[in-house]
């Protein structure tokens, strides 16, 4: 079940909100847990058991860790928890990748398992691992109530597409959270913004990308249109889902971490990764990079740490070589910036450093979105005139004319300009904009998005690969 679906918007969400607010505080987690399991069951009936198993496993391991804190058995329990989590993730997400590469290297014919990938397994596996690690470090107390921990793991707003919510972020709210009309209205507004990003921009950019793939009339212009469209699609899709998750969190009394902070205004790749998918970046920093030694070690070990983190970052996104290359590319760029390029970028005009970042980002997402390295390489070659295609084609011009205004609007929407303008208008009108115009805008956004959904418009789900 997708947030951007009629079933979710008009059946599931009203039902869960009605039941949630109808029961006393002590029963609210149980309502959320039941509805969250049902939400996941609608998309992954069999794998719901897998998620329940992960919850029970980490609940048990955390109790053992806390009971034996400072003893060897606590470390054994931590290792056991991590191994189980990584084994589940490795089997379901990476088994066929390793089998394929072993077959290729050794000339074997080991049959592929073709096991379907459980939706959201990369997100909830990282959440459960961070929980047991934090308990081991003494940064969190083991949750004594299994239902509360299971609610944290299975919570439907952030289950299938993040952000990666750490237990320490919501530990207090699991047992004691506040609800108010103001907070609920704030959540609805944030959800509407995310839904608009997804339906009105990301899906339309996705349709352009699909048209490019289906076209036999390629050109250099069309390759660039595709690259720019996908760069906009993945931002508005991913940040849109994060907005919807954060908005839903507000409705149920939770405060989730922000996941995006206008990454496309960055003036360096280093800054880009401080603004893009921030919860993933902080996870790898706190649970991989720093434990490996971070930058407080020799140059050789620091380089190793960077490459390990960025190889894992790429591999986390998908079981294919283009994801690994995508991650390592950013690792190399971050090293180059740290050692030399940042000093140059600081002296350059802002617009030049911004162009540098966006060129890197656009090329990186072409690599990211390729079915394989060969297709990604072909797409990049097409962008720079390396293929036997014309500079301009009839279909490319038609596509450009049809989507130019949307692309410009999306580009502007990926910057803080819209938010700043809204805030300024609200200040000038002494809050009238937020008090009167915001509800009207929210209702209009929901009606327009519903129209697109009822019409059966293009509505892909990017997170099947995660």
**Residues that are catalytic:** 317
Q: Rounded to the nearest 5 degrees, what angle is found at the Cα of 463, between the Cα atoms of 457 and 466? A: 165
What are the tokens at 263? 């990454």
Alpha helices by DSSP H, listed for 197-298, are 203-214, 220-251, 269-275, 278-284, 290-292
- The residue assigned the tokens 């000038």 is 428
Using an 8 Å Cβ cutoff, are 312 and 288 in contact? yes
Residue 122: other Cβ atoms inside 10 A: 23
Rounded to whole angstroms, the Cα distance separating 143 from 141 reads 6
Place of tokens 């929980």: 131
- Residue 413 to residues 29, 237, 338, Cα–Cα distance (Å): 36, 13, 30
Between the CA of residue 152 and those of 8, 278, 308, what are the distances in Å?
20, 20, 29
**Sequence-separated (6 or more) residues with CB below 8 Å from residue 304:** 292
Measured CA to CA, the distance from residue 252 to residue 17 in angstroms comes to: 8
Q: Which helix (H) or strand (E) holds 391?
A: none
């Amino acid at each position: 079940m997708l947030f951007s679906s009629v079933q979710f918007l008009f059946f599931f969400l009203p039902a869960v909100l009605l039941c949630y607010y109808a029961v006393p505080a002590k029963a609210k987690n149980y309502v959320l847990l039941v509805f969250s399991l049902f939400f996941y069951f609608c998309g992954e009936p069999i794998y719901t058991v897998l998620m329940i198993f992960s919850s029970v496993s980490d609940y048990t391991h955390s109790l053992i860790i806390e009971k034996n804190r400072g003893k060897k058995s606590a470390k054994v329990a931590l290792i056991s928890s991590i191994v189980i989590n990584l084994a589940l993730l490795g089997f379901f997400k990476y088994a066929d990748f390793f089998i394929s590469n072993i077959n290729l290297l050794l000339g074997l014919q080991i049959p592929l398992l073709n096991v379907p990938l459980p939706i959201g397994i990369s997100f909830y596996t990282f959440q459960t691992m961070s929980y047991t690690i934090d308990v081991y470090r003494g940064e969190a107390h083991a949750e004594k109530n299994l239902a509360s921990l299971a609610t944290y793991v299975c919570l439907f707003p952030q289950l299938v597409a993040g952000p990666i919510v750490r237990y320490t972020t919501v530990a207090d709210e699991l047992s004691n959270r506040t609800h108010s009309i103001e907070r609920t209205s704030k959540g609805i507004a944030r959800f509407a913004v995310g839904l608009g990003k997804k339906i009105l921009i990301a899906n339309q950019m996705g349709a352009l990308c699909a048209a490019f793939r289906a076209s036999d009339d390629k050109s250099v212009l069309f390759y660039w249109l595709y690259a720019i469209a996908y760069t906009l699609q993945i931002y508005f899709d991913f940040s849109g889902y994060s907005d919807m998750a954060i908005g839903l969190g507000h409705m149920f009394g939770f405060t989730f971490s922000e996941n995006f902070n206008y990454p496309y205004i960055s003036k360096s790749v280093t800054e880009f990764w401080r603004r893009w998918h921030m919860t993933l970046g902080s996870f790898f920093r706190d649970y991989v990079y720093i434990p490996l030694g971070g930058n407080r070690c020799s140059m050789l070990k620091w380089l190793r740490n960077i490459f390990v983190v960025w190889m894992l970052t790429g591999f986390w996104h998908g079981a294919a070589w283009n994801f690994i290359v995508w991650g390592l590319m950013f690792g190399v760029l971050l090293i180059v910036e740290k050692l030399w390029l940042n000093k140059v970028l600081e002296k350059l005009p802002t617009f030049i450093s911004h162009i540098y970042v966006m060129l890197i980002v656009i090329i990186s997402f072409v690599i990211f979105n390729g079915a394989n390295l060969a297709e990604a390489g072909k797409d990049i070659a097409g962008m720079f005139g390396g293929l036997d295609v014309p500079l301009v084609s009839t279909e490319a011009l038609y596509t450009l004319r049809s989507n130019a205004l949307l692309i410009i609007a999306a580009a502007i929407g990926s910057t803080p300009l819209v938010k700043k303008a809204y805030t300024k208008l609200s200040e000038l009108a002494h809050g009238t904009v937020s008090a009167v115009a915001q509800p009207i805008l929210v209702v209009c956004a929901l009606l327009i998005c519903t129209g697109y959904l009822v019409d059966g418009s293009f509505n892909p789900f990017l997170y099947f690969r995660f």
